[in-house]
Amino acid sequence: MNNELRARQLCIRRQHKDVLSNVGLQLCGGDVLAVLGANGAGKSTLLSTLAGELTPSSPDTHITLNGHALDTLSRKDQARQRAVLPQKSGLAFDLDVHQVVAMGAYPYPELDDGIVQKLSDDAMGHAQVFELAHRPYLELSGGEQQRVHYARALLQLLCGLHQARDGRYMLLDEPTSSLDPLHQHHLLESVRRLARHHGVGVLVILHDVNLAALFCDRIALLCHGRVLACGAPASVLTPDHLHRVYGVQALVMEHPRHPGKPLVVFG
């Protein structure tokens, strides 16, 4: 099996406007890929299309998940191979946190309840929400709710890894947006461990270029719906690239605490 999530010649057109044009990306197991770009660059559209939620506009587009055309896989088959954390996870039901996290196991009805409970505890521990397990979800702060949904996505992956360790992916849309700096680092460190220790391929949309440089193996810079550059952080985060994407002058230097990693100062 070809264990990767791959998009070739990806095009999305809305209201006579090209949102994504001829985008190509490859996500392999163990790889943490950040997608950066200005507002409206097409980042969330890209993630939604890779998640099978949007239909490409061109017949030349090819999206494959572990060697299978994405549009030939059922929703259940997709959910058993990848987890998605959207930018906003709306939930209006009056559930406790552990019940929300347990939703991550829905694609795996065959798993024993005891196994699911252990994996759920592991997921809540990784997401640092274990102490919230019996709190009503709707009473939590926005940052706490975001961490709960991260735990739910983690459980979905852990259930899949319990059965087979090949070809698992996580797609995260701005997972740090409501988090304070400490929990931003904790979440991205958890993502990196998931990739390193379990071979999960992770695509994460971020706005903080320095977080992306610090925690991600590769960065894809989107500019007006096209991939301007994709590669190691030091090769992608250049003053020229950053000015073209964000329209702001940037100073790029070596990180004083993390050799080989760039540090970006805007303005």
161 and 86 co-located in one domain: yes
My answer on whether 215 and 245 are in the same domain is yes
Same domain? For 69 and 193 the reply is yes
Indicate if 74 and 175 belong to the same structural domain: yes
Q: Of the residues 106, 133, 166, which one is the last residue of a structural domain?
A: 166
pLDDT in tens, 117-144: 999 999 999 999 999 999 999 999 999 9
Residue 94 has pLDDT above 90, yes or no: no
pLDDT at 1 > cutoff 60: no
Q: Average pLDDT for residues 224-245, to the nearest whole number?
A: 96
Asked whether residue 2 carries a pLDDT value surpassing 80, the answer given is no
Confidence of residue 14 (pLDDT cuts 50, 70, 90): confident
**Of all helices (H) and strands (E), which one includes residue 18?**
strand 17-28
Structural domain containing residue 116: 82-166
Is the per-residue pLDDT at 84 higher than 70?
yes
Overall domain count for the chain: 2
Q: Kindly state the tokens that stand for 235.
A: 């090769």
Tell me, what's the pLDDT at 91? 79
Long-range Cβ contacts of 190-198 (<8 Å, 24+ apart): 190/126, 190/127, 190/150, 190/154, 191/32, 191/215, 192/32, 193/126, 194/126, 194/154, 194/157, 194/170, 195/29, 195/30, 195/31, 195/32, 196/30, 198/157, 198/161, 198/165, 198/168
Give the pLDDT of residue 147. 95
Same domain assignment for residues 91 and 161? yes
Do residues 68 and 180 share a domain? yes
| Global confidence as pTM | 0.94
Same domain, 191 and 222: yes
Residue 267 has pLDDT above 90, yes or no: no
The CATH number of residue 113's host domain is: 3.40.50.300
- More confident site: 127 or 93: 127
Among the candidates 166, 195, 229, a domain finishes at 166
**Do 66 and 176 fall into the same domain?**
yes
**Does one domain contain both 195 and 183?**
yes
The pLDDT assigned to 108 comes to: 95
Three-state secondary structure string covering 48-75: HHHCCCCCCCCCCCEEEECCEEHHHCCH
Question: Is it the case that residue 192 has pLDDT exceeding 90?
Answer: yes
Residues 92, 72 share a domain: no
Q: What is the pLDDT of residue 190?
A: 95
Give the domain-ending residue among 138, 166, 194: 166
Residues 67 and 114 in one domain: no
Please check whether residue 124 is in contact with residue 147, taking contact to mean a CB–CB distance below 8 angstroms.
no
